[in-house]
Amino acid sequence: MNLTRAKLASVNLANANLYGATLASADPLRANLDGASLASANLTCARNVTNAQVRCTWSDHSTTLPTGITRPMDNPTDADRACD
């Protein structure tokens, strides 16, 4: 799925399967990503991404996040109470 430069402001992507998606330079300002699978996704240079947005997402070793964004915990729904 190619979402390069997509304007995703305030979009609800909760629990979305974004496996392998290209979100490079996308703008997910205030988008809900809770529970979304970002495994193998490319978010290089995505704008307005916050640690809070990706905190409760699923990722793997090949997920590329923007500079300054912390990779979420493994199994976030079990490991992080904020993700309940």
- Mean pLDDT by groups of 10 residues along the chain of 84 residues: 94 95 94 94 94 92 93 77 76
Q: What is the pLDDT of residue 20?
A: 95
Strand pairing partners for 2?
A: 22
7 in a structural domain: yes
- Rounded Cα distance between 1 and 21, Å, is 5
27 three-state secondary structure: strand
- Rounded Cα distance between 41 and 52, Å, is 18
Q: Which domain holds residue 53?
A: 1-69
Report which of 19, 3, 22, 2 is spatially closest to residue 11, judged by C-alpha positions. Answer: 3
48 in a structural domain: yes
- Rounded Cα distance between 27 and 7, Å, is 5
83 in a structural domain: no
84 in a structural domain: no
Q: What is the pLDDT of residue 16?
A: 96
